[in-house]
Amino acid sequence: KKYIVVTGGVLSGIGKGIVSASIGRILKDCGINITSLKIDPYLNVDAGTMNPNQHGEVFVTDDGYEADLDLGHYERFLGIDMKRYNNITAGQIFKSIIEKEREGKYLGATVQMVPHVTEEIKNKIKYIDTDLLMIEIGGTVGDIEGEIFLEAVRELSLEEGIETFFFIHVTFVPYLNVTNEFKTKPTQQSVQLLRKIGIHPNMLIIRTEKSIDSNSLDKIALFAGVNRKYVINLPDAENVYEVPEKLFNIGIQTIIAEKLNLEISNHLNWNY
Ligand code: ADP
């Protein structure tokens, strides 16, 4: 089993969900058996009780689970029916831990974030049966709630073999009109935060309002320690359904397939 892990930096709502769903779609069209897992670090057990004005639509899955709206992106982009197991929240993890503790299942051990909570998260991730699992970690790197999930994924990457993991960090680079330049510092800092946790991103997807100059991308690659070929700009699209084609034209499928040692079909039927 191989994994792609998508994290976000600098701001929330920069399009991690769209990027993950788009990459998933491309790889699915390349003949890979893929599904997705959205991790929501909030303490709600599911999105059913959350205010849609604040949080967006509640997406109800085939098996009646009230999920985050990103599962809707996955279902529409991937053409796969999403199920309850395609979404986990911190609320579910803690609920399950506390129930097990009350049942005496920890046999007197002191129940801790590491290893018990991380173990629970890793088991949920391992439970999903697929060749390639696309894991999107909600929120922004540096959020206190998200830390335990990043730790669990880091541990899993060591247990399963780092060569089976591809880490993509999606960040935002703002443009300052007054000085007429793109500002890369927040992105540099967010990659530093990730590295402090022990995750070294393989690829950076740089979201901008307008196309960024190549000098700024060189600078980001240098500071982040990411191969320049793997630093990709994704300016705002008119329509989110353009994103898969843009990423496909950049050749993201070849880069990922090379790194993860995936066999992709060369007879891709691209019909968007
Ligand atoms: P995140 O997962 O980072 O919270 P989403 O993927 O849910 O972000 O995207 C947030 C919003 O931004 C969505 O409403 C989506 O329509 C829009 N969006 C995402 N990516 C792009 C893009 N490349 N171009 C234009 N709009 C986008």
pLDDT of amino acid 271: 57
Who contacts 216 (Cβ-Cβ below 8 Å, separation ≥6)? 173, 182, 184
Q: What angle do CA 219, 190, 248 make, to 5 degrees?
A: 65
The token duo for 218 is: 């060189």
Q: Which of 67, 45, 58, 9 is nearest to 203 (CA)?
A: 9
pLDDT, block means (10 residues), the chain with 272 residues? 95 92 94 94 92 89 91 91 94 97 94 96 95 95 94 96 96 94 94 94 96 95 94 94 92 93 73 54
pTM value is: 0.94
3-state secondary structure labels for all residues of 160-199: HCHHHEEEEEEEECCEECCCCEECCHHHHHHHHHHHHHCC
Residue nearest to atom 5 of ligand 1 (CA): 15
DSSP 43-55: SSSSGGGS-HHHH
Q: How much distance in Å is there from the Cα of 207 to the middle of ligand 1?
A: 10
Distance 111 CA to ligand 1 centre (A): 38
The ligand 1 atom nearest the CA atom of 239: 25
The predicted pLDDT at position 4 comes to: 97
Residue with the two structure tokens 């990922």: 256
